[in-house]
């Protein structure tokens, strides 16, 4: 019984301390982590130190597109993308030159690939929904040409309740296992 209480207490503590609105996607050795910072702000961390596959020879990023994130009239980029310009056009192989996407495309001077690159995007003049952002990223080689395929994937950002339910479920499984062992 003591063990079960400790397990449930630990699960509750983890649920309360978990980064409630972050999720991770890894593709071709690059890890993308999204975090809903609240107030219309989305943070994207890119860890590109171990890139491989089609991005093995990439040296920089110059464009990031975001779709399925709500409706708004303006956006700004900060962090590694500070000074990048905002567009409502979709990212394609030529940058922010696609059709109107209902999202955002940020582009500017190339940012050298590294570990723990942080981009912060702020949106205003509408409502944001970062529940399932669709991320597009264009990588460049040393000559400044597109390297490999564009990343184009949805990155779910779980709600706090998702972590709480998962940890409570794990606690319940532990409790049941403990009861069976005692019987």
CATH of 21-157, one of 2.60.40, 1.20.140, 1.20.1050, 1.10.3470: 2.60.40
Report pTM: 0.72
For 150-172, what is each residue's pLDDT tens digit? Answer: 788 877 655 555 555 666 676 76
Q: What is the average per-residue pLDDT within 111-133?
A: 90
Annotate 2-14 with three-state secondary structure.
HHHHHHHHHHHHH
Domain ranges of the chain: 1-19+159-183, 21-157
Residue in this structure with the two tokens 């910072």, named with its chain if needed: 37
CB atoms inside a 10 Å sphere around CB 165: 13
Cα atoms found within 13 Å of the Cα of residue 181, Cβ hemisphere only: 9
**Full strand arrangement of the beta sheet holding 134-140:** 85-89, 100-112, 60-67, 134-140, 151-154
For 62-73, what is each residue's pLDDT tens digit? Answer: 999 998 888 888
Among 46, 54, 101, CA closest to 79: 46
């Amino acid at each position: 019984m003591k063990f079960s209480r400790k397990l449930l207490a630990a699960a509750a503590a983890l649920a309360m301390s978990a980064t409630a609105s972050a999720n991770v996607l890894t593709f071709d050795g690059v890890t993308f982590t999204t975090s809903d910072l609240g107030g219309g702000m989305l943070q994207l961390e890119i860890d590109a130190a171990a890139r491989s596959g089609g991005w093995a020879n990439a040296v920089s990023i110059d464009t990031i597109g975001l779709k399925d994130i709500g409706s708004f009239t303006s956006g700004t980029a900060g962090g590694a993308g500070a000074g990048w310009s905002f567009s409502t056009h979709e990212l394609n192989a030529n940058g922010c030159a696609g059709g109107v996407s209902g999202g955002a495309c940020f582009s500017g001077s190339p940012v050298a690939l590294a570990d723990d690159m942080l981009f912060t995007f702020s949106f205003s003049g509408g409502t944001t929904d970062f529940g399932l952002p669709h991320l597009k990223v264009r990588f460049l080689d040393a000559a400044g040409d597109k390297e490999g395929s564009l990343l184009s994937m949805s990155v779910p950002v779980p709600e706090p309740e998702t972590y709480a339910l998962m940890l409570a479920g794990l606690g319940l499984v532990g409790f049941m296992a403990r009861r069976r062992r005692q019987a």
